[in-house]
Amino acid sequence: MRGLYNALWLVALPFICLRLLLRSRKQPAYRQRMAERFGFYSRAALAHRASSQQPLIWLHAVSVGEFLAALPLIEHLLARGDCRLLITTTTPTGSAQVQAKLGARVQHVYAPYDLPIIVKRFLKQYQPRLLLVMETELWPNILRACRQRNLATVLVNGRMSVRSARGYRRLGSLTRSMLADVSQALVQYNADGKRLVDLGLPQERLQVCGSVKFDIAISESLRVETQTLRNQWPHPLVWVAASTHPGEEQQLVDAHKQVRQQVPGALLVLVPRHPERSAEVLALCQNMAVVTRSSKSAVTAATDVLLVDTLGELMLFYGAADIAFVGGSLVAHGGHNLVEPAVWGKPVLSGPHVFNFATMAEEMTAAQALTTVADANALAQVIIDWQAQPEAAQAQGNRGLQFAEANRGALQRVLMALAPYLPNTL
């Protein structure tokens, strides 16, 4: 199976590169630093070897969501002062977030493609002492190469949806051998752990820690910024539709038109998951007054939609809105992080497709902290109802905040589990 897997990688690699080039027509970052994906790095990217002898921890977070979930852990590791961090991502948006939030405090490159010769080159260049993998980014050759080098690998904030487990199960022995190479799996929920064990993870290497997404902190400066922003908007109702995907934005625009019929002057803050799609999303907002965030134009009472075509500001808009809809859920994408608006005490809405966050969604629903809608009509009706009954919206927002607070503590459990692998014992 491993030989077949590697052969498929070799066959697919030219098409993967072609896809990156095609995507780069809309987002040039996809054709930049492509050599890093093959294990070739600039002198600047390797400068750490001359600047410090501290052990290097490699943390892989595929994109924005995984990186933001890892940020509290990263800050803790940096505060220790006894190690260096190399952060890898797969997407340019993830890369941009690493550079924007951490800058020169960490090393950052794109993750190597999962072929033995590329992985070997990467490990030889960087020589990490520990690999931390966020959520579900499990790659057979990376894990095998780390094990061959006696390099511990820890899955952090691990999750395994029913759909993902079904896909891994098709790989049979390759999945079992891959999970046998994992040193420790720190997972979010019992259900995630059970699926991993069923797939081949040794039971003794499993620990349920909860989700570190609950340990998100809102700074006082951010609270002030959100209040200032909300005060600038003269609209009677502001709702945010966050992390949206193709096929979803049209439904959200249709829902907003219905909302405005009952709540004149309502504002939709529309935040596509991938900002490079902003022109495509803008075209959907026909006969509506739209302001793009990047234009820095004023949002006035006449504005129908604020289209957020920038990165890294989602928490700001969650805080400034009255109601939050979490996208990737009206289409079969699997949903996104439901906790981020909940920690602001905002009433949270979602579509039915939340298989990537199934347990979290179930628990929030049971706590009456999440309302699920089937389509645009249902979404519009809930927003209209909440505007007419603000005490009901506020009550759900309060339950969401209580739910988030009750589930804090995963980060501390993760840090305790990582203690044997950190520099004083490396």
| Residues that are catalytic | 66
Interior CA angle at 329 toward 326 and 335, to 5°? 70
Beta bridge partners of 307: 270, 292
**Calpha distance 128→402 (Å, rounded):** 40
**Which regions of 14-173 does DSSP assign to beta strands (E)?**
56-60, 84-89, 107-110, 130-134, 152-158
Element (H, E) at 47: none
- Would you mind telling me the total number of residues written for the chain in this entry? 426
Contact assessment for residue 324 and residue 349, using Cβ atoms and an 8 Å cutoff: yes
Contact assessment for residue 249 and residue 330, using Cβ atoms and an 8 Å cutoff: no
| Structure-token pair, residue 29 | 């970052």
Closest CA to 321 of 238, 242, 390, 264: 238
Instruction: Provide the CA 228 distance to its chain's centre, in angstroms.
Output: 27
Contact assessment for residue 358 and residue 161, using Cβ atoms and an 8 Å cutoff: yes
| Structure-token pair, residue 230 | 């909300």
**Which regions of 334-417 does DSSP assign to beta strands (E)?**
348-350, 371-372
Interior CA angle at 207 toward 112 and 420, to 5°? 70
**Calpha distance 180→339 (Å, rounded):** 32
Alpha carbon dihedral 39, 72, 207, 182, in 10-degree steps, equals: 10
Q: In the β-sheet with 290-292, what is the strand arrangement from edge to edge? A: 290-292, 305-307, 267-272, 238-244, 323-326, 348-350, 371-372
